[in-house]
Amino acid sequence: MLSIAILVTLVAAIVFATTKLKINPFLALLAAALIGGFAFGLPVDTIASTITTAFGATLGNIGLIILFGTIIGVILERTGAAIAMAEALIRVLGTRFPTLTMSVIGFIVSIPVFCDSGFVILNSLKKSLAARAKVSLVAMTIALMTGLYATHVFVPPTPGPLAAAGNLNVIDQLGLIIGFGLIAAAVSAVAGLLWANRFLKKNIELMPEVAGEEDEQDYDKIRASYGKLPNAFMAFLPILAPILLICIASIAKLPNRPFGESGLYIAVVFLGTPVIALAVGLLASVFLLRGKGKLDIFGEHVTEGIRISAPILLITASGAAFGAVLAASDLTDFLGSSLSTLGLGLAVPFLISAALKTAQGSSTVAMVTTSVLLLPLLPALGLDSDLGKVLSVLAIGAGAMVVSHANDSYFWVVSQLSRIPVATAYRTLTPATAIQGVAGFAAVWVIGLIVL
């Protein structure tokens, strides 16, 4: 019981430090790892090495993958490729079902682009499409928000699921995570879409526009600011190429070896290695750059990608260090014997992640922290197989959606850009994330019934 009390105290301290004291989660998790080492009674001469070994190993496993994925997202955002993808989807889907179109656009764009950045990019398009279709702006906002959110927590190369996969030592199963993640994300997005459609014809009062805001959000002006947009194929290629390579490699590794075991198999597996596949996607994104000084522009985007990904990498690595301390303590034996009799399975990662998300606001931090807490408990939960770990990553992602409210930056990005009053946002946006998370977990649970 003392170990449980120490764990609860440490997790509460992490939440308090990050929310009330505004301490960076990287430092909070690292401090928790150090303090936990002493509190759990680890040999003093092993505490530092336990922390540094886990920290370095995690950066080695997923560092380049997250970095390459982030740089691809920056290039798609800065070159107008995200707008080009959105317009291509509108041409295919049309405007007859505007909320569906908006949800699908968000679903695709958020695979490489952070959901809050994606919302900023697509907000003016959402506004223009809502006016053209004569539907509620709130309904369109929810559809875009939930579409973006679905792939943000379920589908790599978004950092959250990548970090969780790294912490659960299942980074070599990204093909399965992408495949099952797309299913769970689709179910989650549909649930968000159904909630959005409740407000299609409702006249909900919005906050008044700030002077000059209309010009800033005019879609045609924003589109024109990118100059000539890339063609749709080149816009999608940096996303599709890595996903296809990773999935084909997963197929090649099946027991019946459909590609044989010759040179073709070796080539497919090599190209489907996550870091190589993301490098191919990064190379494809270079062709989106236009104008003179492409190398300088590319260098600027790389620098921006490093700036964005550095905090995520440090948080993930410090979370892994905290997890290594927990794994080295006697906590895992106690929890393992307790949880094994309850039969909760995938509900454990979902509930822990949901509690952390609701408490501190960041989906990425919730996924990192939950995955490090979960790793030593996997055998007791019956989830220590590769498939069990894959589904655990997705259950953590579902929990990391529940719920978005005032402590979540995404809540404020969506509500303020859409001029939705806070009270209305709590009635419309927050329930949408709860519905999404539960629906996503239900999909993961059903998948588990089939494959586990």
* Residue 347: predicted pLDDT: 92
Q: What is the pLDDT of residue 215?
A: 44
The answer, yes or no, to whether residue 279 has pLDDT greater than 90, is yes
Residue in 344, 420, 354 with CA at minimum distance from that of residue 382: 344
Q: What share of the chain is helix, strand, coil (3-state, %, to 5)?
A: 80, 0, 20
**In the predicted model, is pLDDT for residue 156 greater than 70?**
yes
Percent of the chain topping pLDDT 70: 95
Average pLDDT on 167-195 reads 95
Region 311-330: mean pLDDT is 87
For the chain, how big is the Rg over CA atoms in Å? 22
First to last CA, the chain: 32
Q: What digits encode the pLDDT tens for the residues 352-387? A: 899 889 888 889 888 998 998 888 888 888 899 999
Task: Tell me the average pLDDT across 249-258.
Answer: 86
Residues 6+ positions from 49 with CB-CB distance below 8 Å:
none
Q: Please say if the pLDDT value at position 130 is more than 50.
A: yes
Q: Give the range among 22-36, 194-208, 263-277 with minimum mean pLDDT.
A: 194-208
Residues 10-32 have pLDDT tens digits of: 988 988 998 888 898 899 999 99
Q: Is the pLDDT of residue 216 over 70?
A: no
Of 139-148, 267-276, 416-425, the one with minimum mean pLDDT is 416-425
Mean pLDDT of 90-103: 90
Average pLDDT over residues 42-68: 92
Picking from 368, 351, 413, the residue whose alpha carbon sits closest to that of residue 158 is 368
Token pair of 159, please? 């950092």
Nearest 5°: the CA angle 81, 130, 363 is 60
pLDDT at residue 214, as a whole number = 46
Q: Cα 230 vs. chain centroid, distance in angstroms?
A: 26
pLDDT of amino acid 339: 59
Given a contact cutoff of 8 angstroms between Cβ atoms, the answer to whether 382 and 337 are in contact is: no
What average pLDDT does the structure give for the chain? 89
Mean per-residue pLDDT, 408-424: 89
The confidence band for 337, taking pLDDT boundaries of 50, 70 and 90, is low
Share of the chain above pLDDT 90, in %: 51
Confidence of residue 340 (pLDDT cuts 50, 70, 90): low
In this prediction, residue 35 carries a pLDDT of 95
Collapse the DSSP code of 119 into the 3-class scheme (helix H, G, I; strand E, B; otherwise coil) and give the result. Answer: helix
